[in-house]
Amino acid sequence: MAYTVTPSPAGPVGSQYCVCKVELSICGQNLLDRDVTSKSDPFCVLFMEVNGKWVELDRTETAVNNLNPAFAKKFIVDYHFEEVQKLKFALFDQDKSSTQLYEHDFLGEFSCTLGTIVSSKKITRTLLLGNGKPAGKGMITIAAQELSDNRVITLSMAGRKLDKKDLFGKSDPFLEFHKPGDDGKWMLVHRTEVIKYTLDPVWKPFTVPLVSLCDGDMEKLIKVVCYDYDSDGGHDFIGELQTSVARLCEAQDASPLELECINPKKQKKKKNYKNSGIIIVKSCKITRDFSFLDYILGGCQLMFTVGIDFTASNGNPQEPSSLHYINPLGTNEYLSAIWAVGQIIQDYDSDKMFPALGFGAQLPPDWKVSHEFAINFNPRNPFCSGVEGIVQAYSACLPHIRFYGPTNFSPIINHVARFAAQATQQETASQYFILLIITDGVISDMDETRHAVVQASKLPMSIIIVGVGNADFAAMEFLDGDSRVLHSYTGEEAVRDIVQFVPFRNFRNVPKETLAKAVLAELPQQVVQYFKQQNLPPINSEPA
């Protein structure tokens, strides 16, 4: 076994776009028994592939005398949707106290991507030996959980009969919320807006992460301080109170919670001092701010469709100058784009059957132009098995079609939108559709395409456009609504930005992973934005 303990690389493994941390729990079943007088003493080692080499990330504890261990030590891994993160779980029987893995008996290993684990939430797989054969009846179970407290708290606050601090008018009150810091000092978490000229303020409701307000501990003391605003920054202290989130949660819309605002100096001086006013908690709600990973772990499937441009401007695929020419290495820019995006997305679709459609070609036998045809020539079943299936169907169809035109996008967008519309009838966060369009040039049906995109923005759907070749892609930039909201020709606005465009030429001389990161960077946020707009929690979500 060529395992080496490699020192951790400088800086975090992966890109700077870390979505969150994932906790992996490991169990083994029916492990090989390598000990003569007793059972194996297994431990599990986690490796991640970095620049083509397996780098050790962590190890579990050793389970003594146990062929069915459930390890208490969890693996914590940074999760990046837009990367293929290859992991290897290797089990060993501890024989000596050495940290060198070759000193211990090998019990089997299992490799997969992190995407495979999180899209299933829990997987059980056969352990393999170095020769690829099963390690006896040994199995490994890996369960994933997101490591983040995604609860948020929304508070509606008001005041009554607060102390008057201004000589010629009423106070201008605002509130500050503090929590105890690690150093024992109070740390500011949130400041409300200032309400001018009143002793009975009503502040706007505000939302903060529960972790920010109380470190996720509902019983932890928090301090609420009320000040009278002064433009010179010397705000006058009105009073304060200490409470907990658990106490704030007693407030309901019908029965607000009233808390006395106390000025300790006044309390000491005046015998008949009651308070400096009342702080009212009108309502307190704790909800979950779901992340992309929450939806994936909840069972949401990403449904992937490819649309390929077969218009005449691509050139004759038999000639090396053509964008569809498959070079001696077996690739071209179309195939590179399919691989880059497909290899990430396929982990999130359980059956890995993807429709692959073409547009802008004349088809046999009558050579009519089609803007929406199955590249496997089976309109009833346009599905290809995995990314490899798309690549095979693409290569096989090239000799049988005639490149033509025009470059119409709207038929394929509307095709996928019909399926996305059907998915909305389930009223659950179970499916989200991704259309990858690969094209070499200018859109002919711009008005219809704009209209199709605006309509699709209301559906669980995103569109990725990769421009190949050296054409002018200004129209594509226009569809990608990063800088302005896209409008239909009817004047209707897109409810959200669902198009991501990248020109392939910007990625010709960089590692292929860079293209995937660029085209998929916005997708997690588009998925979350859609389901939040529809008020749909993840399928298997727990209440806050």
Burial class (CB in 10 A: 0-12, 13-18, 19+), 444: middle
The per-residue DSSP string of 60-91 comes to ----TT-SS-B-SSPEEEEE-TTS--EEEEEE
> Can you give the pLDDT at residue 481?
66
Residue with tokens 């020539």: 377
> Can you give the pLDDT at residue 11?
32
Please give the domain boundaries of the chain with CATH numbers for all domains.
Answer: 20-147 (2.60.40.150), 151-288 (2.60.40.150), 310-534 (3.40.50)
Q: Which amino acid is at 80?
A: H
Cβ contact 222:178 at 8 Å: yes
Residues facing 151 on adjacent strands: 288
Burial class (CB in 10 A: 0-12, 13-18, 19+), 536: buried
Cβ contact 216:210 at 8 Å: yes
> Can you give the pLDDT at residue 166?
67
Dist CA 464 CA 480 (whole Å): 9
> Can you give the pLDDT at residue 9?
31
Q: 238, 245, 251, 242: which is closest to 280 by C-alpha? A: 251
> Can you give the pLDDT at residue 36?
77
> Can you give the pLDDT at residue 471?
85
> In a structure prediction context, what are the per-residue pLDDT tens digits for the chain, which is 544 residues long?
333 333 333 333 333 344 588 999 999 999 999 877 889 999 999 999 999 999 999 999 999 999 999 999 899 999 999 999 999 999 999 988 888 998 999 999 999 999 999 999 999 999 999 999 999 999 999 999 888 888 999 999 999 999 987 667 789 999 999 999 887 889 889 999 999 999 999 999 999 999 889 989 999 999 999 999 988 788 999 999 999 999 999 998 789 999 999 999 999 998 899 999 999 999 999 998 899 999 999 999 999 999 999 999 999 999 999 999 999 989 999 999 999 999 999 999 999 999 999 999 999 999 999 999 999 999 999 999 999 999 999 999 999 999 999 999 999 999 999 999 999 998 999 999 999 999 998 899 999 999 999 999 999 999 999 999 988 888 787 777 666 788 898 999 999 999 999 999 999 888 878 999 888 988 999 999 999 999 999 997 777 6
Q: What is the pTM of this model?
A: 0.80
Segments in 353-473 forming alpha helices (H): 386-397, 410-424, 446-456
> Can you give the pLDDT at residue 20?
81
Cβ contact 276:236 at 8 Å: no
